[in-house]
Amino acid sequence: MPSSPATPPAPKVLGVAVPTPLRKLFDYRPCQPGPSAGWQPGMRVRVPFGRREVVGIVVECRDTSDFGLASLKPVSACLDSQPLPADWLWLCRFTARYYQHALGDALHQALPVLLRQGRPLEARTRERWQLTATGQATDAASLGRARRQAELLELLRQHPRGVVGSVISAQGFTRAQLRALAGKGLAECREEPLTAAPSTPGGALLAEPALTLNREQATALSELHQGLDRYHPCLLQGVTGSGKTEVYLQLIEAIVTQGRQALVLVPEIGLTPQTLARFRRRFRVPVVALHSGLTDAERLDAWEAARAGRAPIIIGTRSAIFTPLARPGAIIVDEEHDGSYKQQDGLRYHARDLAIARAHKHRIPIVLGSATPSLESLVQARAGNYRHLRLTRRASSHAPARLELIDLRGRSRQGGLIPPAIDAIKGALGAGGQVLVFINRRGFAPTLACHNCGWLAECDWCDSRLTLHRQPPQLTCHHCERQRSIPDACPDCGSADLRPLGTGTERSEESLGELFPDVCVHRIDRDSTRRKDAFETTLNEIRRGEPCLLVGTQMLAKGHHLPHVTLVVVVNADAGLYASDFRALEHSAQLLVQVAGRAGRAERPGRVLVQTLHPDDPHLRLLAESGYDALAENLLEERRIAGLPPYRHMALLRLESPREADGLTLAGEAAGALRQWLQARELAVDCLGPVPAPMERRQGRYHVQVMLSAARRSSLHEASAWLTAWMEQSPLARRARWNLDIDPQTLS
Ligand code: ADP
Ligand code: ZN
Ligand code: ZN
């Protein structure tokens, strides 16, 4: 076939990224005929790979290959007539490079499942359904018992110019019903081209009026308005309920009015129907949500709508950062400190950090919002790299409640609660309020113990205790999810005196039920909300406002508006205080402030009681007496002195193997080789270890680590790249599992 004059000369070699953990491209010859517009990076191809055929993505078009042209296999087929979006490809390449991850695997993970499988990129047309002349003349009643068909007929009758397929299915009608009407000659369908431009909203963008901003909100928004057309990173720090979301909404209004798109990231736990409803109430244009509940087809639709520019507002959790945007206008990362933005396996990216990179690349504003910003973002703000905007007042009149520390030592406890806490609960319920009891351990008790010999129920596979559950009764390991039945007698001494040790949500629920038999106790944790809709049903009941007790883990503490809660009791604040992980204090302070933020959000003031065995702990006191900013200041100083992030950059090599010695030997060799190389290169990177991981045995495997840290990111990067390459070619490493975590969020 002669190629048209506009087509670039055909390359002789295609460098293809294939979904494998190997960090390299694979060379293929182009197939004949190629795509009519010529080969371009970003096109999907089907290629033979080992014994399989896989979908890969062309990354390079070249004329030479290190392997010689003759030995190359041809690609089997080109799947696209145009490349995948350039901004998306750029982000994937950036991600793979930054996180030292195989590009093929990064591209694969960042692509909707159906596109990974080779589905055509774009539905260029859509279906529009309308009634035929016969249909118009037909009375719905004549359809008899086919009630939905009759309703569909009426829907189409109301829209003489037709209704698009997606709108029909959004109303709950099925294809079968459409086909039935078509089969009877009542309705017909035509294909129409998709226009890329969103329906210009004009003056009708808002479906409800925006709120009048208070002074601080107005200042923040005008600051944001001044940076709409450039990279303009802002840290929006505001206590829970101070009106950050309202600022986001009004920023988005400005962006969408310009015909551009806004991408909003929320933590996993934060994409609630409430949040979505709030965005959808405000805007008349579509708000596309990307969450785990979508089918593959819905996900592809959303991706496509964003890519083609049809979706002006996209809201989603971590992986939504990989959504292509036709006309990027702004990125918002809500609760930017939240741990769920970091993917903890496979491609270990941090969505907030990628959001920053993306905003920089697109030259658009980015807002990082939080009541308790990460130390990383605070340092950037201090250095003047981010604009620091603050909302100190709640939109409602009440100031956020202070934390009141109460001493657990030597006091009798019921369901983990000591008498002053129980009295306070009594008082709050009596005054008609709701009470939130926060306890970050699900199950009945953290473990089961023999009162005779001290035996503790432990996991056979992990260095951890088994959690006692009552509903249903069993012992479960929260690290490997293995379950065991509850023994009748101690396996060591035979005594029948086995007792639960400590308190989990189930036990607290039970005790509170006994203490306050007249009020309803709702437990909210991963177990109680496993059933679909269970969580929403409970929340709706809570929102009715009757006095009640809520017992919950951080599921309750984050993201939910609980206007009737007047008292929060934290059963134990000590988990993060003396943990080995250097971020533990930061994270537990953020969680405490967030839990505390649940109290007194509506017209009533709130109170927060924090039970602790360490009421004199300086960090805890600083947080309680002076607030998060003061604690953050203090923690930053400690990190600076200790040479820890955010003042130094870190990477963690994790290795696991079935035998302890194997992992240690390999890690030792890797660390040794790296040290030698660092010395020869005179590169200022510290290499620590190997050391066993804090929980050395997990799922029956031994975990070992080597830690890298450097003052300069570029040095760390160079060392990480070298270490990854070394690991990849090491024969020993091929038999172990390993990964390199750049900017690890935990050291476990
Ligand atoms: P945040 O996102 O900081 O938690 P929200 O934006 O959700 O805060 O605001 C908390 C509550 O205050 C919401 O009910 C919101 O409707 C209300 N609110 C926010 N800003 C204003 C305002 N300027 N005037 C009146 N009410 C406001
Ligand atoms: Zn015993
Ligand atoms: Zn286990």
List C-alpha distances in Å: 196 to 180, 288, 325, 326, 445: 31, 16, 12, 9, 56
Annotation: binding site for Zn(2+)? 450, 453, 459, 462, 477, 480, 490, 493
- Nearest protein Cα to ligand 1, atom 15: 243
**The whole model's pTM is what?**
0.87
- Nearest protein Cα to ligand 1, atom 5: 243
Question: 243 CB under 6 A from ligand 1?
Answer: yes
Question: Do residues 35 and 180 share a domain?
Answer: no
Pocket test for ligand 1, best of 208, 235, 245 (most atoms within 8 A of CB): 245
Single-letter amino acid, residue 401: A
Q: Higher confidence at residue 172 or residue 468?
A: 468
Question: Do residues 278 and 184 share a domain?
Answer: no
d(CA 365, CA 251): 10
Ligand 1 atom, smallest distance to 391 CA:
3
467 within some domain: no
What does the block give as tokens for 690?
């190997």
Ligand 1 atom, smallest distance to 597 CA:
4
pLDDT-based confidence at residue 142 (cuts at 50, 70, 90): confident
Phi, psi at 637, each rounded to 5°: -65, -40
Distance of CA 560 from the midpoint of ligand 1 (Å): 13
Distance of CA 424 from the midpoint of ligand 2 (Å): 38
Q: State the pairing for strand pair 498-501/447-450.
A: antiparallel
Phi, psi at 437, each rounded to 5°: -105, 115
CATH code: domain of residue 717: 3.30.70.100
Domain finish residue from 357, 391, 425: 391
Question: 274 CB under 6 A from ligand 1?
Answer: no
Q: Higher confidence at residue 73 or residue 241?
A: 73
Question: 394 CB under 6 A from ligand 1?
Answer: no
Measured between its terminal Cα atoms, the distance across the chain in Å is: 59
Question: Do residues 239 and 296 share a domain?
Answer: yes
d(CA 415, CA 444): 10
Q: Cβ(493)–Cβ(452) under 8 Å? A: yes
What does the block give as tokens for 151?
């309703």
- pLDDT value at residue 601: 61
Q: Cβ(586)–Cβ(635) under 8 Å? A: yes
For residue 745, what are the contacts with CB-CB under 8 A and spacing of at least 6?
339, 342, 344, 350, 583
Distance of CA 738 from the midpoint of ligand 3 (Å): 20
Question: Do residues 180 and 248 share a domain?
Answer: no
Distance of CA 737 from the midpoint of ligand 2 (Å): 37
528 within some domain: yes
Question: Do residues 250 and 348 share a domain?
Answer: yes
Q: Which helix (H) or strand (E) holds 251?
A: helix 244-257
Q: Is 313 helix (H, G, I), strand (E, B) or coil?
A: strand
Q: Shortest CA distance to 54 belongs to which of 120, 106, 123, 104?
A: 104
Q: Is 131 helix (H, G, I), strand (E, B) or coil?
A: strand
Domain that holds residue 588: 403-444+502-639
- Number of domains the chain contains: 5
Question: Do residues 111 and 129 share a domain?
Answer: no
pLDDT-based confidence at residue 196 (cuts at 50, 70, 90): very low
Domain finish residue from 98, 117, 136: 117
Residue 578's CB: how many other CB atoms inside 10 A?
10
Question: Do residues 566 and 664 share a domain?
Answer: no
pLDDT at 195 > cutoff 70: no
Distance of CA 489 from the midpoint of ligand 2 (Å): 8
Question: 598 CB under 6 A from ligand 1?
Answer: no
- Nearest protein Cα to ligand 1, atom 10: 241
457 within some domain: no
Question: Do residues 437 and 554 share a domain?
Answer: yes
pLDDT in tens, 707-745: 999 999 999 999 999 999 999 998 888 778 999 999 999
Distance of CA 454 from the midpoint of ligand 2 (Å): 6
Question: 242 CB under 6 A from ligand 1?
Answer: yes
Distance of CA 493 from the midpoint of ligand 2 (Å): 4
Q: Cβ(204)–Cβ(257) under 8 Å? A: no
Question: 270 CB under 6 A from ligand 1?
Answer: no
488 within some domain: no
Ligand 1 atom, smallest distance to 238 CA:
3
Largest CA distance in the chain: 89
203 within some domain: no
- Nearest protein Cα to ligand 1, atom 14: 241
Surface-to-core class of residue 141, CB atoms within 10 Å of its CB (0-12 exposed, 13-18 middle, 19+ buried): exposed
Peptide bond into 690 cis (omega under 30): yes
Question: 211 CB under 6 A from ligand 1?
Answer: yes
What does the block give as tokens for 169?
């299915």
d(CA 34, CA 14): 12
CATH code: domain of residue 433: 3.40.50.300
pLDDT in tens, 633-653: 999 999 999 999 999 999 999
pLDDT in tens, 302-331: 999 999 898 999 999 999 999 999 999 999
Question: 214 CB under 6 A from ligand 1?
Answer: yes
Q: Shortest CA distance to 224 belongs to which of 382, 364, 385, 351?
A: 364
Domain finish residue from 391, 417, 433: 391
pLDDT in tens, 646-698: 999 999 999 999 988 888 999 999 999 999 999 999 999 999 989 999 888 99
455 within some domain: no
d(CA 702, CA 663): 7
pLDDT at 440 > cutoff 80: yes
Q: Any idea which ligand is nearest the CA of 455?
A: 2
Question: 511 CB under 6 A from ligand 1?
Answer: no
Surface-to-core class of residue 325, CB atoms within 10 Å of its CB (0-12 exposed, 13-18 middle, 19+ buried): buried
**Beta-carbon-side half-sphere exposure of residue 564 (alpha carbons within 13 Å):** 17
Distance of CA 697 from the midpoint of ligand 3 (Å): 9
List C-alpha distances in Å: 107 to 21, 142, 422: 11, 53, 54
Task: Report the sign of the C-alpha dihedral through residues 625, 631, 637, 638, in that order.
Answer: positive
Question: 213 CB under 6 A from ligand 1?
Answer: yes
Question: 244 CB under 6 A from ligand 1?
Answer: yes
Question: Do residues 634 and 658 share a domain?
Answer: no
Q: Higher confidence at residue 221 or residue 179?
A: 221
Question: Do residues 33 and 158 share a domain?
Answer: no
- pLDDT value at residue 162: 85
Single-letter amino acid, residue 79: L
Question: Do residues 431 and 563 share a domain?
Answer: yes
Q: Any idea which ligand is nearest the CA of 391?
A: 1
pLDDT at 201 > cutoff 80: no
Q: Cβ(694)–Cβ(684) under 8 Å? A: no
In this prediction, residues 74-98 reach a mean pLDDT of: 94
206 within some domain: no
Single-letter amino acid, residue 672: G
Place of tokens 């939910």: 560
Ligand 1 atom, smallest distance to 334 CA:
2
DSSP state of 2: P
Q: What percent of the chain has pLDDT over 70?
A: 94
- pLDDT value at residue 689: 87
Distance of CA 291 from the midpoint of ligand 3 (Å): 29
pLDDT-based confidence at residue 5 (cuts at 50, 70, 90): very low
Pocket test for ligand 1, best of 219, 242, 246, 389 (most atoms within 8 A of CB): 246
Q: Any idea which ligand is nearest the CA of 464?
A: 3
Distance of CA 396 from the midpoint of ligand 1 (Å): 8
Question: Do residues 683 and 571 share a domain?
Answer: no
451 within some domain: no
